[in-house]
């Protein structure tokens, strides 16, 4: 094959593919431009999941009339001047790639008014080329309208999700920047329905109320980021974190901002998780909204095409600063009692000349280990002996001793029941005495509207009730009163799940919530009933998440351990 230089249009579309992955990418770039322009009010309007229309309006400084067309030239920017500036970036954008990349794959119109100019400027572009430019009335600020996204690269449209899913991703972007910039008033409208409105009063707590609702905000704790003599004083951590009882099933409620830039960081997530060590239930994750302020030269924001990842000059200092700031906030509101060993473990004395265990049994080699028993499709009939640690049921079978994880076993039982009800299209429903009002986040709202019929098939009776609110009239009988904690975790989980796997996720969630918990004392009759139900399961050996429900200690193993083999 012959090596050749690609034409301008192909180069533009390749570059656009790195910056404009989906409609939410366009919204993110335009919102960041508005914030860099000093806007205090930003309005986002989308239609058709952002494919048909994206319009972002701000009251920022605007673009001077003689620079509007130049803004759509690749790598044209007002934010850096030399390579030295890449090590001291104070703005959200800096590459000069966003506007030309958007114009390469969509129709774009801009109306802008700059300080000191009597009239504003209108410009329209197709395929990256200016079609029209003229004077137009406009107060201070900028409105960017993007129409028919990806119309010049229709193959990209095949990789987008449903309009509701894309709206959810857009809502996530706007919500995150509403949290990052509490002093900016955001509004988001999708298909003529208002999804989010933040007050812009400058208080993070108000933004959390706007995004997550008052119920969650009531259980958030301030992180003040006070001085710590063991951490670099230039690193300041501020924000809010959830009290331990606010644990969530996933990590979708961790929001991190570095110098107000929304980022994804495993380092920061791990630091927060470590701060909660010993305070959260197993399998639960914290809620956090944290901003890490540090000198621009201490962080590299130029390592990812979407600028969504950063690299710190000193990971260790940042980790310690975040972990300690969050831990201080948690301990201050609920001091953790310190548990110390007060006595050595008891050891029975051995008789003279005897030892408790043979030290070197060289006389007869140990028999080869017994191969693991093959799993049977069904369990044998078991006789319940008792409960251990309020977590495990001990039972006797025809070929040995069985230990059953009561929570995992009950999950499996409930999972198969829910799935059977779904297949018969006859879910067991529990009506509420009075309809309950349930508020959702913008991202959850997109999932709810897309999946309300699917949820109805499992016994949820839900009706829209104003903006981002629903009336709950009935819930699956197996969930019962636990529905209020189950539903937000389910919606957060579905937001990041492929649409084809939603039903499986719903079944597993219903099975988990309301199942017998580890630590719950069971009567002999309750244990016997649980074991009998497990025996009837088609797949009794694992829970829906793949963890084992039961282990067996064979008769041969028991006899060998007691020296009877």
pLDDT digits (tens, 9 = 90+) for 33-89: 999 999 999 999 999 999 999 999 999 999 999 999 998 887 777 766 666 766 677
| pLDDT score, position 336 | 37
Of all residues in the chain, what percent are helix, strand and coil, respectively (each to 5)? 35, 25, 40
Contacts for 112 with CB less than 8 Å, ≥ 6 apart: 62, 63, 68, 120, 121, 138, 141, 142, 143
- Reply yes or no on whether the pLDDT at 93 is more than 60: yes
> What's the confidence (pLDDT) of residue 85?
62
pLDDT class of 341 with cuts at 50, 70, 90 = very low
Q: Alpha helix locations (H) across 37-77?
A: none
Is the per-residue pLDDT at 125 higher than 90?
A: yes
CB 140 within 8 Å of CB 64: no
What is the per-residue pLDDT for 403? 92
pLDDT of residue 343: 34
pLDDT in tens, 415-474: 998 888 888 888 888 888 888 888 888 888 888 888 888 888 888 999 988 888 899 999
The residue-averaged pLDDT of 226-238 equals 73
Share of the chain above pLDDT 70, in %: 85
| The pLDDT of residue 374 is above 50 | no
Dihedral angle computed from the Cα positions of residues 351, 357, 361 and 366, in that order, rounded to the nearest 10 degrees: 150
User: All domains of the chain, ordered by start, with CATH?
Assistant: 8-197 (3.30.565.10), 219-330 (3.30.230.10), 429-476+479-512 (3.30.1370.100)
DSSP 71: G
Give which of 165, 199, 177 is closest to 51, Cα–Cα: 165
Give residue 347's pLDDT: 38
Residue 284, both tokens: 């639960």
Mean pLDDT of 174-185: 96
């Amino acid at each position: 094959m012959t090596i050749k230089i690609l034409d301008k249009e192909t180069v533009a579309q390749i570059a656009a593919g790195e910056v404009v992955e989906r409609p939410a990418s366009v919204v993110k770039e335009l919102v960041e431009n508005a914030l860099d322009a000093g806007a205090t009010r930003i309005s986002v309007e989308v239609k058709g999941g952002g494919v048909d229309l994206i319009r972002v309006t701000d009251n920022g400084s605007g673009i001077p009339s003689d620079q509007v067309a130049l803004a759509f030239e690749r790598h044209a920017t007002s934010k850096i001047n030399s390579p030295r500036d890449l090590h001291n970036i104070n703005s959200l954008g800096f590459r000069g790639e966003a506007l030309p990349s958007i114009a390469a794959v969509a129709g774009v119109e801009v109306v802008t008014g700059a300080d000191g100019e009597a009239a504003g400027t209108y410009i329209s572009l197709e395929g990256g080329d200016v079609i029209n430019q003229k004077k137009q009335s406009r107060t201070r600020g900028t409105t960017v309208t993007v129409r028919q996204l990806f119309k010049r690269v229709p193959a990209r449209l095949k990789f987008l999700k449903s309009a509701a899913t894309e709206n959810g991703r857009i809502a996530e972007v706007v919500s995150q920047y509403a949290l990052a910039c509490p002093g900016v008033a955001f509004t988001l409208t999708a298909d003529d329905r208002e999804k989010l409105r933040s007050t812009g009063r400058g208080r993070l707590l108000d933004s959390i109320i706007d995004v997550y609702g008052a119920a969650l905000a009531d259980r958030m704790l301030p992180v003040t980021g006070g001085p710590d003599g063991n951490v670099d004083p230039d690193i300041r951590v501020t924000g809010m974190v959830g009290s331990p009882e606010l644990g969530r099933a996933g990590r979708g409620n961790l929001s991190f901002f570095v110098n107000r830039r929304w980022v994804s960081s495993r380092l920061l997530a791990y630091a927060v998780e470590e701060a909660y060590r010993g305070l959260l239930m197993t399998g639960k994750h914290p809620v956090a909204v944290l901003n890490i302020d540090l000198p621009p030269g201490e962080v590299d924001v130029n390592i990812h095409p979407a600028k969504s990842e950063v690299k710190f000059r000193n990971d260790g200092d940042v980790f310690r600063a975040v972990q300690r700031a969050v831990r201080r906030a948690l301990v201050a509101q609920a001091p953790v009692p310190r548990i110390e060993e007060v006595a050595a473990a008891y050891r029975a004395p051995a008789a003279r000349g005897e030892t408790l265990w043979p030290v070197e049994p060289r006389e007869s080699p140990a028999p080869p280990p017994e191969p693991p028993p093959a799993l049977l499709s069904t369990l044998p009939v078991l006789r319940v002996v008792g409960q251990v640690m309020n977590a495990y049921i001990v039972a006797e079978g025809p070929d040995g001793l069985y230990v059953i994880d009561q929570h995992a076993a009950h999950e499996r039982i409930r999972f198969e029941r829910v799935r059977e009800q779904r297949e018969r299209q006859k879910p067991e429903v529990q009506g509420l005495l009075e309809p309950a009002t349930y508020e959702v986040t913008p991202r959850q709202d997109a999932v709810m509207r897309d999946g309300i019929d699917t949820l109805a098939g499992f016994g949820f009776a839900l009706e829209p009730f104003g903006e981002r609110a629903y009336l709950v009239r009935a819930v699956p009988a197996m969930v019962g009163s636990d529905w209020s904690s189950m539903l937000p975790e389910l919606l957060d989980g579905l937001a990041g799940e492929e649409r084809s796997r939603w039903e499986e996720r719903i079944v597993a969630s219903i099975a988990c919530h309301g199942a017998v918990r580890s630590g719950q004392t069971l009567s002999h009759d309750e244990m016997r009933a649980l074991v009998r139900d497990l025996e009837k399961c088609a797949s009794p050996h694992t829970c829906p998440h793949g963890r084992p429900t039961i282990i067996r200690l064979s008769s041969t193993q028991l006899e060998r351990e007691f020296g009877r083999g």
